[in-house]
Amino acid sequence: MNGKVLIVAGSDSGGGAGIQADIKTVTCLGGYAATAITALTAQNTLGVHGVVAIEPAFVAQQMRVVLADIGADCIKTGMLFDQHIIAAVCAVLDDYPHIPLLVDPVMVAQSGDRLLDAGALAAMQQLLLPRAALITPNLPEAEALLGCSINDLPSQQQSARDLLAQTGAAAILLKGGHANGDAMHDVYVCPQQEALLSDKRITTRNNHGTGCTLAAAIATGIAQGLDSYRAVLRARQYLRIALASASDLGEGHGPVNHGHTVARFDPP
């Protein structure tokens, strides 16, 4: 397999986000996905109906047995739920500083349901974010991390720079999907580069799990040897096709079409 990604995140029983979306994405981009599940959610296209956190020591055990045997070329974190799980994850990361870490700071689901305990934000900022090769916040997550409002494109660009300076991460991709308008802007910054990535917004209700999918696609690219910027470019292209080709599932925000890269074979 080309590029091994260890995904540390929550499960989405509806299959559109979380671990399920990540596995589909990594696989459909030619990588190998392994997992450490941090929480179980009872979830569908209408929202999150229940959450059960996994014991932090067991989250760490899942990570350790995978890393000791299969290994990983990139570690991607998603929903971590509380400060105890964050601390357990970081204790494992201490032993694998050479593996690039992508942090998707999942805080709120597409439906508006909270996926990060209120007390966990400080732990994420202090323990996890400084380790990251790339952080991929959306606008509400960036506002929570910075404690300020992001109201327009100039403030989004400045916020990306501020996140780079304040978190200690190697690079930031500040996603603009929550902003209004026909154009959608993402801002990528690292010490050597700043890029504005703009596209026409794809109008669809089938946008559940877009953040997870994008982050997993980037992690796959990094695991396959791309630098973070090139991995971002490929991942954005993958996600745009997944959005544009999604079929209607459920009554709410349906999933994107993760499998659009997979060839279809007619039965013999």
Tokens of 223: 């695991």
Q: Which residues pair with 44 in a beta bridge?
A: 47
Mean pLDDT confidence for 250-264: 86
Largest Cα separation within the chain, whole Å, is 59
Dihedral sign for Cα 53, 118, 80, 42, please: positive
Mean pLDDT confidence for 59-79: 98
Pick the closest to residue 218 from 26, 10, 14, 57 (CA basis): 26
Mean pLDDT confidence for 69-82: 96
- Domain spanning 4-130+205-258: which CATH class is it, in words? alpha beta
Give the pLDDT confidence score for residue 179 in this predicted structure.
75
Do the Cβ atoms of 246 and 257 come closer than 8 Å? yes
Q: What is residue 116's DSSP assignment?
A: B
What pTM was estimated for this model as a whole? 0.94
